Chains A and B, each alone.
Chain A
């Protein structure tokens, strides 16, 4: 994996805040007016939750260089922790449950990050599988976590802040959008700070980082904690805003890989990359199913769809690793640069 992307290098003369503000303006003002409920339910809600999870994993893997295969575990921790906080603490506002669930995910993330102090690369990735299997097992084994529901399924509580309901498709979209926007902004602040530089220093050369006085162990644990916090909250959005009903089995290894693919395809060590990657991963199956049923008709059933999805996704990842190792972000930047220079020339 080549990781050499940095967003701090300006490619054009527009101010850095302009694009995010414009996008947020469209997301808040225009999309709720024109969007259909299909757009919200099938595209935007999973997109937002997966993007946030991608941002979280990118802090750990893209910036700090610690590969993790346990993202889905932290999604699950977030979802089930928020469910329990909401259920068991009377009068705790939903945002309080969400914040606390992030804290719980961060704590568990730090515990499962401890092997990173001794293990690197491939071995660390394998050790993060422990989180993946342990969390899924614990949530299934102890029915307390799902309030003794027979199948381990939990239902999302209604979303409301200070009496305002967010239970319609648009409402849940705006709820997710706000949380994602705030956390993304904070993540952006983090990666540009001294701690963010420490992340990259540890990733690029751990020995040199230690010698120049970067607190390597602390930096790794901060990366695990912050990353798990963000992924945990993404899990709450996945469970409460998108699916509304989740079970532990939904947070399996496939989901962990999905999030890893999001940041590989989108671009490692790039906040924007998580959004690019998530967009591609959410939209590809939908396009595939449309195109497939148009071309092949009835033969293209859900089984074939599922298979062809995996094949197309696998192919995409191989293509990206070979042709565009820095992900969609660098692809996008190149196109933008080329068009701006062409426009300026005319």
Chain B
């Protein structure tokens, strides 16, 4: 809980569907006003990353305020996934810093990520195929476990209450995401769309202050996209979770995000509200492509 308070700067009581009604009554809805007092949930300061001469990210600055839904879009190879991998410590940037809440890192410690209040999903599913759906979601609480393996074997100490707690929280998240019916299925046997949702559940059960979603809509059918959009928005509104998402579906992005950053060739070419971005000439060029003569006035 500390980590969440530290980042959002706002008291987020508990993070469970039972509290949704109470939170709505308090009308503390981040949804339309993501601007609490100039605080920063996530900041990138001149981050650069290259792979053996190929530049993936070049001098990226980005700042995401608590409670915001920030989309990162751009053509293939624009560096979007690299960005998420830098934020989650999978890649180590060549230069620059990553700020998560009050902490500033040159290299984000992956193992501590969840303790900093950050959770993420993966572009290509990264579920634990050999675990049931419930167990997958419960594994999202692994970082909370204080009991030793001996305590768990013999069922003594904190272990029984931790197990009950993890199970209850998983059950609530599964209910929230309409996954209760498949709770006992092996995660690997579910259809793709449901697996995506299980991944979201596993990330949400950790009660992240900042949620990184790497292409949450990829491979989903239209009705599934509608549902997923609903879930992401609900997580943002009802839990106050800051969300950074990478997405190709422009329709979804325009509808869902408060702010959009546009990347092209490893650089950030635009950053603003959906309306601003939509009208930006550089963005239009990057997406529609622009012939060299249009800029320079000469042929090739």
Contact = CB atoms under 8 A, between A and B. Distances in A.
Interface stretch (A110-118, A169-177, A195-203): A195-203
A193 B206 contact: no
Interface string B205-232: 0100000000000000000000000000
B149 A222 contact: yes
A200 B130 contact: yes
Given A8-B135, A203-B130, A194 B153 contact: no
A211 B184 contact: no
A213 B128 contact: no
Contact of A211 (B88, B131, B145, B153): B88
B145 A207 contact: no
Contact of B153 (A3, A5, A189, A216): A189
A190 interface: yes
Given A6-B130, A201-B128, A203-B130, A211 B149 contact: no
B142 A9 contact: no
Interface string B151-171: 011110001001100100000
Given A9-B184, A213-B115, A197 B152 contact: no
Contact of A210 (B110, B140, B166): B110
Contacts of B54: none
B131 A6 contact: yes
B132 A201 contact: no
Most buried by A among B128, B163, B186: B128
Most buried by A among B115, B130, B140: B130
Contact of B188 (A4, A9, A186, A194): A4
A220 to B, nearest CB: 12
A196 to B, nearest CB: 8
A194 B206 contact: no
Given A9-B184, A213-B111, A213-B206, A198 B142 contact: yes
Nearest to B111: A210
B139 A212 contact: yes
Given A190-B152, A193-B153, A212 B129 contact: no
B84 to A, nearest CB: 11
Interface residues of A, number: 32
B126 interface: yes
A193 B140 CA distance: 14
Contacts of A210: 110-111
Binding site secondary structure of chain A: helix
B246 interface: no
Contacts of A69: none
B152 A194 contact: yes
Interface in B182-217: 184-186, 188, 202-203, 206
B147 interface: yes
B245 interface: no
B119 interface: yes
A193 B184 CA distance: 16
A214 B132 contact: no
B3 to A, nearest CB: 11
Interface in A207-225: 207-216, 222
A215 B148 CA distance: 12
A226 interface: yes
In the A-B complex, the 5 residue pairs with the smallest Cβ-Cβ separation, listed nearest first, are: A213-B143, A213-B114, A193-B152, A208-B126, A204-B128
Interface of B: 88-90, 110-111, 113-115, 119-120, 122, 126-132, 135, 138-140, 142-143, 145, 147, 149, 152-155, 159, 162-163, 166, 184-186, 188, 202-203, 206
Interface of A: 3-6, 8-9, 186, 189-190, 193-195, 197-198, 200-201, 203-205, 207-216, 222, 226, 269
19 contacts: A6-B186, A8-B135, A193-B149, A194-B138, A194-B147, A194-B159, A194-B166, A197-B142, A203-B128, A204-B131, A208-B127, A208-B128, A210-B111, A211-B110, A212-B140, A212-B206, A213-B114, A213-B142, A215-B142
Given A201-B142, A209-B142, A212-B202, 13 more contacts: A9-B184, A186-B154, A193-B149, A193-B159, A194-B159, A194-B166, A195-B152, A197-B138, A203-B130, A207-B90, A212-B142, A214-B143, A269-B130
